[in-house]
Amino acid sequence: MPAFRIPIKHCRNCGAAVAYRVPDDGDTRERAICPACGTIHYENPLNVVGTVPHWGDRVLLCKRNIEPRWGKWTLPAGFMELGETTVQGAERETDEEAGAQIEMEDLLTVISVPRVGQVHLYYRARLLSERFEPGHETLEARLFAEHEIPWEEIAFRTVRETLLRYFEDRRRGQFGVHNLEVL
Ligand code: ZN
Protein backbone atom coordinates (compact mmCIF):
# COMPACT_ATOMS: atom_id res chain seq x y z
CA MET A 1 0.00 0.00 0.00
CA PRO A 2 1.35 3.43 -0.93
CA ALA A 3 1.57 5.57 2.20
CA PHE A 4 -0.32 8.51 0.66
CA ARG A 5 -3.72 6.86 0.53
CA ILE A 6 -5.93 6.09 3.49
CA PRO A 7 -6.48 2.32 3.42
CA ILE A 8 -9.98 1.19 2.50
CA LYS A 9 -11.71 -0.39 5.50
CA HIS A 10 -15.20 -1.21 4.27
CA CYS A 11 -16.66 -2.53 1.05
CA ARG A 12 -18.21 0.17 -1.15
CA ASN A 13 -20.80 -2.33 -2.31
CA CYS A 14 -22.02 -4.05 0.89
CA GLY A 15 -20.21 -2.40 3.82
CA ALA A 16 -18.42 -5.53 5.09
CA ALA A 17 -14.84 -5.20 6.36
CA VAL A 18 -12.35 -5.72 3.50
CA ALA A 19 -8.94 -7.41 3.55
CA TYR A 20 -5.90 -6.46 1.47
CA ARG A 21 -4.59 -9.33 -0.64
CA VAL A 22 -3.56 -10.11 -4.21
CA PRO A 23 -6.60 -11.21 -6.26
CA ASP A 24 -6.48 -14.75 -7.66
CA ASP A 25 -6.92 -13.61 -11.26
CA GLY A 26 -3.23 -13.14 -12.11
CA ASP A 27 -3.06 -9.64 -10.60
CA THR A 28 0.26 -8.72 -8.97
CA ARG A 29 -0.79 -6.04 -6.49
CA GLU A 30 -2.64 -6.13 -3.21
CA ARG A 31 -6.20 -4.81 -3.45
CA ALA A 32 -8.91 -4.27 -0.86
CA ILE A 33 -11.13 -7.30 -1.40
CA CYS A 34 -14.52 -7.89 0.18
CA PRO A 35 -14.84 -11.39 1.67
CA ALA A 36 -18.66 -11.07 1.69
CA CYS A 37 -19.50 -10.04 -1.89
CA GLY A 38 -16.14 -10.44 -3.66
CA THR A 39 -15.85 -6.82 -4.81
CA ILE A 40 -12.25 -5.86 -5.63
CA HIS A 41 -11.50 -2.18 -4.96
CA TYR A 42 -9.00 -0.88 -7.50
CA GLU A 43 -7.17 2.35 -6.65
CA ASN A 44 -5.54 4.35 -9.40
CA PRO A 45 -3.82 7.71 -9.81
CA LEU A 46 -5.82 10.93 -9.70
CA ASN A 47 -5.64 13.68 -12.29
CA VAL A 48 -4.83 17.26 -11.36
CA VAL A 49 -5.75 19.74 -14.11
CA GLY A 50 -4.79 23.38 -14.40
CA THR A 51 -3.83 26.29 -16.60
CA VAL A 52 -1.05 28.75 -17.34
CA PRO A 53 -3.19 31.88 -17.85
CA HIS A 54 -1.21 34.51 -19.74
CA TRP A 55 -1.69 38.21 -20.52
CA GLY A 56 0.96 39.74 -22.77
CA ASP A 57 4.30 38.60 -21.38
CA ARG A 58 2.90 37.89 -17.90
CA VAL A 59 1.30 34.84 -16.30
CA LEU A 60 -1.29 34.62 -13.57
CA LEU A 61 -0.33 33.09 -10.23
CA CYS A 62 -2.52 32.53 -7.18
CA LYS A 63 -1.39 32.86 -3.56
CA ARG A 64 -2.75 29.86 -1.68
CA ASN A 65 -5.20 30.39 1.16
CA ILE A 66 -5.29 26.65 1.95
CA GLU A 67 -2.93 23.99 3.21
CA PRO A 68 -0.65 22.50 2.12
CA ARG A 69 1.73 25.34 1.23
CA TRP A 70 -0.43 28.13 2.59
CA GLY A 71 0.83 31.53 1.39
CA LYS A 72 2.87 30.06 -1.49
CA TRP A 73 2.21 30.86 -5.15
CA THR A 74 0.69 28.40 -7.59
CA LEU A 75 -0.99 28.11 -10.96
CA PRO A 76 -4.76 27.56 -10.85
CA ALA A 77 -5.24 23.78 -10.68
CA GLY A 78 -7.11 21.08 -8.82
CA PHE A 79 -8.51 17.57 -8.91
CA MET A 80 -10.51 16.65 -11.98
CA GLU A 81 -14.15 15.79 -11.21
CA LEU A 82 -16.07 12.82 -12.55
CA GLY A 83 -18.09 13.66 -15.63
CA GLU A 84 -15.85 16.42 -16.92
CA THR A 85 -13.05 16.50 -19.49
CA THR A 86 -9.52 17.62 -18.66
CA VAL A 87 -10.14 20.92 -20.46
CA GLN A 88 -13.41 21.52 -18.60
CA GLY A 89 -11.71 20.73 -15.29
CA ALA A 90 -8.80 23.10 -15.96
CA GLU A 91 -11.22 25.85 -16.97
CA ARG A 92 -13.38 25.29 -13.87
CA GLU A 93 -10.39 25.39 -11.51
CA THR A 94 -9.19 28.63 -13.12
CA ASP A 95 -12.61 30.17 -12.56
CA GLU A 96 -12.88 28.88 -8.96
CA GLU A 97 -9.39 29.86 -7.83
CA ALA A 98 -8.78 33.06 -9.75
CA GLY A 99 -12.16 34.17 -11.14
CA ALA A 100 -10.29 34.67 -14.41
CA GLN A 101 -11.95 34.80 -17.82
CA ILE A 102 -9.94 32.67 -20.23
CA GLU A 103 -9.84 31.10 -23.65
CA MET A 104 -8.38 27.60 -23.38
CA GLU A 105 -5.39 26.76 -25.58
CA ASP A 106 -3.22 23.66 -26.03
CA LEU A 107 -1.78 21.22 -23.52
CA LEU A 108 1.66 22.26 -22.23
CA THR A 109 2.75 19.69 -19.62
CA VAL A 110 1.84 16.15 -18.57
CA ILE A 111 3.61 15.39 -15.30
CA SER A 112 3.60 12.02 -13.54
CA VAL A 113 4.03 12.23 -9.77
CA PRO A 114 4.13 8.54 -8.78
CA ARG A 115 5.11 9.30 -5.17
CA VAL A 116 1.62 10.69 -4.53
CA GLY A 117 -0.23 8.73 -7.23
CA GLN A 118 -1.10 11.75 -9.41
CA VAL A 119 -0.84 12.94 -13.01
CA HIS A 120 -0.87 16.71 -13.54
CA LEU A 121 -1.96 18.29 -16.82
CA TYR A 122 -1.49 22.00 -17.52
CA TYR A 123 -2.99 23.88 -20.46
CA ARG A 124 -2.03 27.27 -21.77
CA ALA A 125 -4.92 29.72 -21.54
CA ARG A 126 -5.29 33.25 -22.92
CA LEU A 127 -6.68 35.71 -20.40
CA LEU A 128 -9.56 37.77 -21.75
CA SER A 129 -9.25 40.50 -19.12
CA GLU A 130 -7.00 41.68 -16.30
CA ARG A 131 -9.82 41.50 -13.79
CA PHE A 132 -9.70 38.61 -11.31
CA GLU A 133 -12.05 37.55 -8.57
CA PRO A 134 -10.17 35.02 -6.45
CA GLY A 135 -12.25 32.41 -4.62
CA HIS A 136 -11.85 31.45 -0.96
CA GLU A 137 -8.88 29.17 -1.73
CA THR A 138 -6.85 32.14 -2.98
CA LEU A 139 -5.45 35.09 -0.99
CA GLU A 140 -4.39 37.04 -4.06
CA ALA A 141 -4.28 36.57 -7.83
CA ARG A 142 -1.81 38.64 -9.85
CA LEU A 143 0.24 38.74 -13.03
CA PHE A 144 3.99 38.16 -13.08
CA ALA A 145 6.54 38.69 -15.85
CA GLU A 146 9.23 35.99 -16.01
CA HIS A 147 11.78 38.05 -14.05
CA GLU A 148 9.18 38.75 -11.33
CA ILE A 149 8.23 35.10 -10.66
CA PRO A 150 8.85 34.32 -6.96
CA TRP A 151 10.70 31.07 -7.75
CA GLU A 152 11.53 30.42 -4.09
CA GLU A 153 7.88 30.84 -3.15
CA ILE A 154 6.34 28.47 -5.70
CA ALA A 155 4.13 25.90 -3.95
CA PHE A 156 4.80 22.76 -6.00
CA ARG A 157 7.50 21.32 -8.25
CA THR A 158 4.91 20.53 -10.94
CA VAL A 159 4.05 24.25 -11.07
CA ARG A 160 7.71 25.23 -11.19
CA GLU A 161 8.42 22.77 -14.04
CA THR A 162 5.37 23.98 -15.95
CA LEU A 163 6.35 27.66 -15.61
CA LEU A 164 9.92 26.89 -16.72
CA ARG A 165 8.64 25.10 -19.85
CA TYR A 166 6.17 27.88 -20.58
CA PHE A 167 8.81 30.62 -20.56
CA GLU A 168 11.35 28.47 -22.46
CA ASP A 169 8.83 27.74 -25.21
CA ARG A 170 7.72 31.35 -25.27
CA ARG A 171 11.29 32.58 -25.82
CA ARG A 172 11.72 30.01 -28.60
CA GLY A 173 8.51 31.18 -30.24
CA GLN A 174 7.08 27.66 -30.34
CA PHE A 175 5.03 25.77 -27.79
CA GLY A 176 5.17 22.00 -27.40
CA VAL A 177 3.75 19.34 -25.10
CA HIS A 178 6.21 18.29 -22.40
CA ASN A 179 5.99 14.86 -20.80
CA LEU A 180 7.72 15.09 -17.40
CA GLU A 181 8.21 13.21 -14.17
CA VAL A 182 8.56 14.53 -10.66
CA LEU A 183 10.12 11.78 -8.56
ZN1 ZN B 1 -18.85 -6.39 -0.23
12 and 98 in a single domain? The answer is no
CA of 43 to the centre of ligand 1 (A): 16
Count the Cβ atoms, other than its own, within 10 Å of residue 69: 14
CA of 45 to the centre of ligand 1 (A): 23
pTM across the whole model: 0.92
Cα 109 to its chain centre, rounded Å, is 11
Q: For the chain, 183 residues long, give each residue's pLDDT as a single digit of tens.
A: 455 678 999 999 999 999 999 999 899 999 999 999 999 999 999 999 999 999 999 999 999 999 999 999 999 999 999 999 999 999 999 999 999 999 999 999 999 999 999 999 999 999 999 999 999 999 999 999 999 999 999 999 999 999 999 999 999 999 999 999 999
Beta strands 40-41 and 31-33, pairing class: antiparallel
Calculated CA dihedral for residues 143, 136, 115, 106, nearest 10 degrees: -40
Report phi then psi at 88, rounded to 5: -60, -40
CA of 63 to the centre of ligand 1 (A): 43
**CA 90, CA 85: separation in Å to the nearest integer?**
9
Give every CB contact of residue 128 below 8 A, 6+ residues apart in sequence. 101, 102, 103
**CA 121, CA 57: separation in Å to the nearest integer?**
22
Is 168 within 8 Å of 174 (Cβ atoms)?
A: no
Quick one: pLDDT at residue 6?
87
101 and 132 in a single domain? The answer is yes
CA of 9 to the centre of ligand 1 (A): 11
60 and 113 in a single domain? The answer is yes
Look at residue 59 and give its three-state secondary structure: strand
- β-pair partners for 112: 119, 181
- Provide the residue range defining the domain that includes 16: 1-43
93 and 155 in a single domain? The answer is yes
**CA 5, CA 116: separation in Å to the nearest integer?**
8
CA of 8 to the centre of ligand 1 (A): 12
What CATH number is attached to the domain comprising 28?
Answer: 2.20.70.10
38 and 50 in a single domain? The answer is no
CA of 73 to the centre of ligand 1 (A): 43
CA of 18 to the centre of ligand 1 (A): 8
Total tally of structural domains belonging to the chain? 2
- β-pair partners for 127: 102
Cα distances from 117 to residues 43, 80, 82, 110, 152, in angstroms, run: 9, 14, 17, 14, 25
Beta strands 77-79 and 118-127, pairing class: unpaired
